Structure 1
């Protein structure tokens, strides 16, 4: 398991790295979630698609995600580590109660 989620110089994280960090049993399955929620994700910035480097993958591309994309996917995920991410998001939240009005 990856202990720290790392981003490149441009502030992006590869989809497979995120999936491994969250504990997906099959990391390439994160791409199904990305495609399913693409509209919402793209409202927080462009999804960068790159040719995949995994030869055994049926996918021909992978996604590079910004921090907002990562937070959304962690919130949607049911992977083992996602629960910890959601708890951390809540603990660090500064949302005022008035947002619901």
Structure 2
């Protein structure tokens, strides 16, 4: 529920329903670990049994990205900014390390997400 609280969910316990709804996608980043736990009841009237989920870093990030909370929007924007910054750094490294650029030739930068097919990949 720490993540739910940080995301500003109106009811932090709703994170459990959220995780179950997105379980297949979350598990594409590893097993979603869960344990049974005792949760205090409101007003100090004892405890009830509940489920506690343990997400890894990628699963937590995916939860933040899918979250429809104001904090989730901020996290999505930060992911996009960092991705743009990364792409900018990749272009600088290519410019510095490409020997054709040193000779003054114009070089088209390949798309890092759609690299050119190698002979091995073309054969598949």
Gaps of 5+ in 1: 1-15
CA-based RMSD: 2.4
Work out whether 1:70 is the aligned partner of 2:55: no
Structure 2 CA distance for aligned equivalents of residues 81 and 59 of structure 1:
29
Q: Which has the higher contact order (CA 8 A, sep 6+)?
A: 1
Q: Which residue of 2 aligns with 1:21?
A: 6
Paired residues for 1:1-101 under 5 Å: 16-56=1-41, 60-93=50-83, 94=86, 99=113
User: Across the two proteins, how many residue pairs are aligned to each other?
Assistant: 86
Q: Which residue of 2 aligns with 1:4?
A: none
Gaps of 5+ in 2: 42-46, 91-110, 116-124
Q: Is the 8 A contact 1:24 1:79 kept in 2?
A: yes
Offset, 1:58: 6.9
Q: Is the 8 A contact 2:38 2:49 kept in 1?
A: no
Report the TM-score, using the length of structure 2 for normalisation: 0.60
Q: Is the 8 A contact 1:24 1:80 kept in 2?
A: no
